[in-house]
Amino acid sequence: MKSIVHTNFDFQGLTAKYEGKVRDVYTIDDKYIVMVATDRISAFDVILPKGIPYKGQVLNQIASSFLDKTTDIVRNWKIASPDPMVTVGYKCQGLPVEMIVRGYLTGSSWRTYKSGAREICGVKIPDGMREHQKFEHPIITPTTKAEIGTHDEDISKENIIKKGIVSADLYAKMEDYAYKLFARGSEIAAERGLILVDTKYEFGIRDGELYLIDEIHTPDSSRYFYAEGYEERFAKGEPQKQLSKEFVREWLMANNFSGKAGQTVPAMTDEVVASISDRYIELYEHLTGLKFQRTPYDDGIYDRIEGNIKNMLARLR
């Protein structure tokens, strides 16, 4: 199965290029960002050996849609999405904190809780909770943005402010926006029969103002449960039916890989790759209510992407 796992474009005014775990980010004139969502997939901070067809298109189109639907809450970096796999926006000075909002005790928070911890990132968690249980109110468990090649680290709000990573006033704004964005995402998910379980937001500064940056409410940055059957499965202690990247992590762990030294990524067969691709497309269609339009993976795909970006940049100049 074909996928886009690497790009190498050369744009007029190119001042920097950065390859993240998923996105190739081009900086233009130190003013604009071209973000290409590739089909790379990562888990446990490891980029897996095969790309997932259409994953980049799914991520970019979901993020682009949610950026448009939240501009009344907070400014964001997006200018336009000139290609199904691309968003062009303003360059912002990223803040080294990820705001992770959790509505349910699930995933890594459950694993931490199950180990005996009753406090996550300075947030106290009551005794007696069960896996996939809804918190009385959503909580924020921030992490510090890692340097390249290292893991993000959990940190409390108090230590973020104490260490001067961001000021108390700025953190308060980020916190307020994060809760409001989570509420909006939850409303939209509920309309589509889904539950927004947890997600992350990143912020940056442009011209002295706080901006929402990067992706938002995608299956890479968020976890969704199906609302139908949630209560019944929870009452029985059964796994929740979910649309997120957690199923990839669970598949890896079932095959003895959790990112630890000495472990080997299991073989990704065509069947595994196809099933992951199908899950991403399924989430897109559930979340947007739209039929996913597969763009051709032919010999001209790189020319298409590059041409759409160049046309967009020409309009900005």
Count Cβ atoms within 10 A of the Cβ of residue 288 and give its class: 0-12 exposed, 13-18 middle, 19 or more buried. middle
Q: What angle do CA 31, 34, 40 make, to 5 degrees?
A: 145
* pTM of structure: 0.90
Question: Strand (E) positions, 207-295?
Answer: 209-213, 222-226, 242-244
Cβ count near 76 (within 10 Å):
23
The C-alpha angle 239, 244, 250, rounded to 5 degrees, equals 55
Q: Report which of 8, 105, 13, 3 is spatially closest to residue 54, judged by C-alpha positions.
A: 3
Largest CA distance in the chain: 59
> Structural domain boundaries of the chain?
97-204+219-244
Pick the closest to residue 55 from 272, 225, 279 (CA basis).
279
Tens of each residue's pLDDT in the chain, 317 residues: 689 999 999 999 999 999 999 999 999 999 999 999 999 999 988 999 999 999 999 999 999 999 999 999 999 999 999 999 999 999 999 999 999 999 999 989 999 999 999 999 999 999 999 999 999 999 999 999 755 444 578 899 999 999 999 999 999 999 999 999 999 999 999 999 999 999 999 999 999 999 999 999 998 899 999 999 999 999 999 999 987 777 788 899 999 999 999 999 999 999 999 999 998 898 899 888 899 999 888 889 999 999 999 999 999 98
Beta strands in the chain (DSSP E): 14-19, 23-28, 32-37, 42-43, 46-47, 78-83, 86-90, 93-105, 119-120, 123-124, 133-140, 143-144, 153-154, 194-206, 209-213, 222-226, 242-244
Distances (CA, A) of 28 to 10, 89, 91, 248: 10, 10, 9, 34
Q: Give, in words, the CATH class of 97-204+219-244.
A: alpha beta
